[in-house]
């Protein structure tokens, strides 16, 4: 029985979601593998400097930042975090080495950035010869020292750009694997089709009206969503809104308190995003890799924002949306009314919808086979 460690943390939620989805996919294949979900934060809690200073774990501070939109200057904050990680590299490696000696994995798979030097070093010390794999859960890397390091590892990339970045850092072709996209939850492949018109009516929406889904990840983004709701609701456009607030209960309450002339469906945290995406015609949100991948799997044209407040690792995602011609990118959501109007022009919408349909993301099913190949070659 091969032990596979899947390493994640809870900053933003996407890393945990990817790890859990991959674990489910692996189990369905009945490989002789024993998967272990490893929350890095729990192993490194004693080194959490942010927690010592503020009382908050790093991941909780990050999630609070997302929820409140405190993302201006995030590139500088990231470099400060990376400097702290480097200062504590030795202690980090020792803690991880101790953990891995006890687990004795046959492979470590990282689904997180920042810590891949420490993870790789600790694995090679604890379990020499065992393969270390990094799966990028962003569309591209944000160098230096974010996802891809100059070290002995395998890399699984979801875009041509990430593959190019890996080659530029000297990784050989046999250690780089490209998938057809980002890891998606199995729900995006196993959902039941709905009668969209009747389901809309159940929620107080109009059956035939163009429906815009607004979603800013699991933490919500209070100021942005309130502003988008106000602008679109008062725009006079023949549309209606689905607003998913995630775990942001304050945002949900504030939206419900507003009386608007436009039909709106307001939802909190939900694990049934495919259902709400089936109700919608297009997607508005932040350029997170998970949100973009989910919207495209449900064939929804996209509107995302890219500016100084955009997280640095997500800025290329907006460029990718433009390159693939699956949606529009705005500098600021102040322009949301004009951009929604532009997106819904018949020819524009048809082009983006057609390009979205062409995206065949099977990464969730491709990655277990890649891991199997790496294990076989490592044992030969």
Q: Please spell the DSSP secondary structure of 263-296, one letter per residue.
A: -EEEE-S-S-HHHHHHH-SEEEE---HHHHHHHH
Residue 157: enclosing H or E segment and its boundaries? strand 154-157
Q: Is the pLDDT assigned to residue 189 strictly greater than 60?
A: yes
Q: 254, 286, 224: which is closest to 69 by C-alpha?
A: 224
Backbone angles phi, psi at 136, to 5 degrees: -75, 120
Contact 38, 243 (CB under 8 A): no
Q: 86, 8, 13: which is closest to 43 by C-alpha?
A: 8
pLDDT band, residue 355 (cuts 50/70/90): very high
Q: What is the pLDDT of residue 74?
A: 64
Distance between CA atoms of residues 225 and 230, nearest Å: 8
Helices (runs of H) and strands (runs of E) counted in the chain: 18, 12
Distance between CA atoms of residues 257 and 312, nearest Å: 34
List Cα–Cα distances, 314 to 71, 83, 91, 157, 218, in angstroms.
Answer: 12, 21, 30, 15, 16
List Cα–Cα distances, 26 to 20, 198, 251, 289, 293, in angstroms.
Answer: 10, 36, 37, 22, 20
Beta-bridge mates of residue 33? 2
The torsion region of residue 105 among left (phi > 0), alpha (psi -120 to 50) and beta comes to beta
Tens digit of pLDDT for each residue in 214-257?
999 877 788 999 999 999 999 999 999 999 998 889 999 999 99
Distance between CA atoms of residues 170 and 162, nearest Å: 13
Contact 123, 130 (CB under 8 A): yes
Higher pLDDT, 67 or 211: 211
- Token code pair at residue 14: 């996407």
Residues 6+ apart with CB under 8 A from 333: 224, 227, 228, 231, 305
3-state secondary structure of 371: helix
Interstrand relation of 107-110 and 132-135 (parallel, antiparallel or unpaired): parallel
Q: Is the pLDDT assigned to residue 371 strictly greater than 90?
A: yes
Q: What is the pLDDT of residue 31?
A: 87
Residue 310: enclosing H or E segment and its boundaries? none
List Cα–Cα distances, 199 to 117, 215, 357, in angstroms.
Answer: 49, 19, 22
First CA to last CA across the chain, in angstroms? 16
State percent of the chain over pLDDT 90.
Answer: 78
Higher pLDDT, 309 or 318: 318
Q: What is the pLDDT of residue 49?
A: 55
Q: What is the pLDDT of residue 378?
A: 83
Residues 6+ apart with CB under 8 A from 260: 229, 233, 234
Tens digit of pLDDT for each residue in 35-78?
999 999 889 888 765 565 455 566 565 555 555 555 555 667 77
Q: What average pLDDT does range 10-38 have in this prediction?
A: 91
Q: What is the pLDDT of residue 311?
A: 85
Tens digit of pLDDT for each residue in 271-292?
899 999 999 999 999 999 999 9
pLDDT band, residue 19 (cuts 50/70/90): very high
3-state secondary structure of 34: strand
pLDDT mean across residues, the chain: 91
Q: 191, 197, 243: which is closest to 222 by C-alpha?
A: 243
List Cα–Cα distances, 61 to 47, 55, 66, 207, 218, in angstroms.
Answer: 15, 9, 9, 41, 15
Strand order in the sheet with 210-215: 264-267, 239-244, 210-215, 282-285, 302-305, 327-330
Q: What is the pLDDT of residue 71?
A: 55
Contact 2, 29 (CB under 8 A): no
Higher pLDDT, 57 or 26: 26
């Amino acid at each position: 029985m091969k032990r596979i460690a899947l390493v994640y943390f809870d900053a933003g939620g996407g890393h945990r979601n990817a790890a859990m989805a991959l674990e489910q996919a692996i189990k369905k294949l009945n490989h002789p593998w024993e998967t272990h979900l490893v929350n890095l934060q729990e192993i490194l809690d004693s080194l959490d400097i942010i927690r010592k200073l503020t009382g908050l774990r790093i991941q909780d501070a990050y999630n609070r930042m997302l929820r409140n939109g405190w993302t201006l200057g995030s590139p500088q904050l990231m470099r400060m975090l990376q400097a702290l990680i480097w200062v504590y590299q030795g202690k980090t490696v020792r803690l991880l080495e101790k953990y891995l000696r006890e687990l004795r994995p046959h492979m470590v798979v990282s689904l997180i950035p920042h810590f891949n030097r420490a993870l790789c070093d600790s694995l090679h010390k604890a379990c020499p010869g065992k393969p270390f794999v990094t799966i990028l859960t962003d569309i591209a890397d944000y160098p230096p020292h974010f996802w891809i390091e100059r070290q002995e590892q395998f890399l699984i990339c979801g875009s041509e750009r990430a593959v190019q970045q890996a080659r530029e850092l000297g990784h050989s072709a046999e250690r780089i694997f490209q998938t057809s996209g980002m890891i998606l939850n199995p729900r995006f492949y196993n959902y039941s089709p709905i009668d969209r018109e009747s389901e809309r009516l159940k929620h107080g929406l109009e059956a035939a009206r163009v429906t815009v889904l607004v979603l800013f990840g699991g933490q919500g983004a209070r100021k942005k969503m309130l502003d988008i709701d106000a602008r679109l609701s008062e725009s006079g456009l023949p549309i209606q809104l689905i607003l998913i607030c995630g775990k942001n209960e304050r945002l949900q309450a504030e939206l419900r308190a507003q009386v608007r002339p436009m039909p709106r469906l307001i939802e909190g945290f939900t694990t049934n995003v495919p259902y709400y995406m089936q109700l919608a015609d297009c997607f508005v949100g932040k350029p997170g890799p998970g949100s973009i991948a989910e919207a495209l799997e449900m064939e929804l044209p996209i509107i995302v924002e890219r500016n100084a407040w955009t997280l640095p690792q997500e800025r290329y995602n907006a460029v990718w949306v433009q390159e693939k011609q699956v949606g529009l990118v705005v500098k600021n959501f102040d322009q949301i009314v004009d951009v929604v109007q532009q997106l819904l022009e018949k020819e524009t919408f048809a082009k983006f919808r057609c390009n979205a349909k062409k995206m065949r993301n099977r990464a969730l099913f491709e990655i277990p086979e890649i891991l199997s190949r790496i294990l076989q070659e490592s044992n030969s």
